[in-house]
């Protein structure tokens, strides 16, 4: 897949250059668009007919995998800067539709990031959509590709199980999408997804904890880069559970001592997976290791010497406990909102960071007031 995708992206860059250089009826322009169309159809076919290309910083992601053999491709950052972060193609895309999309893309590139931000919106032509990773146009809930986002989180956890590592670029793209939704939503609680199927617990819980942690990090006053790091850490805090047998994770009754021992290994396993993944996941590895350590020194894994947990761990821990207790599990029903908040309040200073609990409770109170 990577070779076919590389051919398309090279052709895409050449077509964008040709549209900038040549008049609409110039043969060189026509040839460049024709080559890009042929390459796009082939690249989409490699993805089952529905292609998806994501541009994030220096990374190009094809489907859910980072493209590693493209070399230096400068267009990704330029396109993302004008709001063209993801290109999605459906079967039946025509040459004329591609050319129409390219014309508008060149107009945005020529206008520059500031003008493009004012224009907003995706470029939509038949069987093609080119826009941001996620959008929340009405500002009142999740309007992005929710199913696709959950699928990407599932692939992150599946990669952890089968490959012992995660694709940091995919995690970053998911967090960018969630962060955009949080920034534009009037109430982040409306972004949380209720659990409908026990098989989706890991992906839905991870997404919800990331949404809550992004919101809480913003309330605490973290800068944008730190908010992103916290969002990724929250998204991946339970990645070590990918190595725990499903029958244990879904067991409705009391765990045996041996089963509990396996469960308690997931923070260490998660940290190892994320350290192995590298690519800016150092904070995520720390949070994966520490998210079951209590504020006053208890929990697991057992600390070899007395030390406080990382502030990011303390932040994610509060959001993790909130969503876990609010969610139905095989062994218990969901707790009412007030009971969960009372539990966090009672544990402040012992189980949980008093600062993080205080800001979290204030945030929830403000959301409850509709502000």
Pairwise CA distance, residues 105 & 82, whole Å: 9
As a whole number, mean pLDDT of residues 261-279 equals: 91
Around 56, how many Cα atoms within 13 Å sit in the side-chain half-sphere? 23
pLDDT at 183: 80
Any long-range contacts for 297-300 (C-beta under 8 Å, 24+ apart)? 298/351, 299/351, 300/264, 300/267
pLDDT at 114: 57
Going from N- to C-terminal start, the domains of the chain cover 2-131, 146-368
As a whole number, mean pLDDT of residues 239-251 equals: 92
As a whole number, mean pLDDT of residues 131-154 equals: 61
3-state secondary structure of 15: helix
pLDDT at 256: 94
pLDDT at 332: 84
pLDDT digits (tens, 9 = 90+) for 290-318: 999 999 999 999 888 888 999 999 999 99
pLDDT digits (tens, 9 = 90+) for 339-349: 999 999 999 99
Q: 223-242 burial, b if ≥16 CB within 10 A, otherwise e?
A: eeebbbbbbbbbbbbbbbbb
Residue with tokens 């290791």: 289
Pairwise CA distance, residues 59 & 334, whole Å: 39
Q: Which residues contact 270 (CB under 8 A, 6 or more apart)?
A: 160, 236, 237, 238, 239, 240, 241, 285, 288, 289
pLDDT digits (tens, 9 = 90+) for 87-101: 989 899 999 999 999
pLDDT digits (tens, 9 = 90+) for 168-222: 888 888 888 888 788 877 788 888 888 777 678 889 999 999 999 999 999 999 9
Domain 146-368 belongs to what architecture? Orthogonal Bundle (1.10)
pLDDT digits (tens, 9 = 90+) for 50-87: 888 888 766 788 876 777 666 567 788 888 888 888 89
Most confident of 9-13, 117-121, 177-181, 313-317: 313-317
CA–CA distance from 284 to each of 188, 231, 304 (Å)?
Answer: 22, 9, 21
pLDDT at 140: 45
pLDDT at 245: 92
């Amino acid at each position: 897949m990577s070779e076919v995708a590389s051919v398309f992206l090279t052709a895409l860059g050449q077509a964008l250059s040709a549209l900038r250089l040549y008049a609409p009826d110039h043969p060189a322009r026509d040839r460049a668009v024709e080559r890009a169309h042929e390459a796009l159809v082939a690249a989409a076919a490699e993805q089952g007919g529905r292609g998806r290309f994501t541009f994030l910083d220096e990374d190009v992601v094809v489907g859910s995998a980072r493209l590693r053999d493209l070399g230096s491709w400068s267009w990704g950052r330029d396109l993302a800067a004008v709001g063209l972060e993801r290109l999605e193609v459906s079967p039946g895309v025509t040459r004329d539709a591609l050319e129409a999309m390219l014309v508008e893309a060149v107009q945005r590139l020529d206008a520059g990031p500031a003008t493009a931000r004012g224009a907003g919106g995706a470029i939509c032509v038949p069987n093609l959509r080119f826009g941001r990773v996620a959008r929340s146009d009405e500002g009142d809930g999740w309007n992005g590709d929710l199913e696709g986002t959950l699928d990407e989180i599932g692939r992150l956890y599946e990669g952890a199980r089968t490959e012992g590592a995660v694709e940091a670029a995919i995690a970053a793209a998911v967090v960018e999408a969630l962060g955009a939704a949080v920034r534009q939503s009037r109430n982040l609680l409306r972004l949380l997804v209720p659990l409908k199927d026990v098989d989706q617990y890991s992906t839905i819980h991870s997404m919800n904890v990331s949404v809550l942690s992004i919101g809480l990090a913003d309330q605490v006053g973290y800068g944008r880069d730190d908010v992103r790091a916290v969002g990724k850490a929250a998204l991946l805090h339970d990645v070590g559970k990918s190595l725990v047998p499903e029958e244990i994770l879904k067991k409705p009754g009391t765990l045996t001592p041996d089963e509990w021992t396996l469960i308690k290994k997931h923070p260490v396993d998660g940290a190892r997976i994320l350290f192995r993944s590298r690519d800016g996941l150092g904070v995520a590895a720390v949070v994966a290791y520490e998210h079951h350590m209590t504020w006053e020194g208890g929990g697991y894994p057992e600390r070899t010497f007395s030390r406080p947990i990382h502030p990011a761990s303390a932040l994610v821990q509060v959001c993790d406990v909130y969503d876990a207790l609010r969610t139905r599990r095989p062994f218990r029903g969901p707790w009412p909102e007030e009971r969960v908040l009372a539990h966090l309040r009672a544990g402040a200073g012992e189980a949980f960071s008093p600062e993080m609990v205080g800001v979290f409770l204030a945030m929830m109170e403000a959301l409850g007031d509709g502000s």
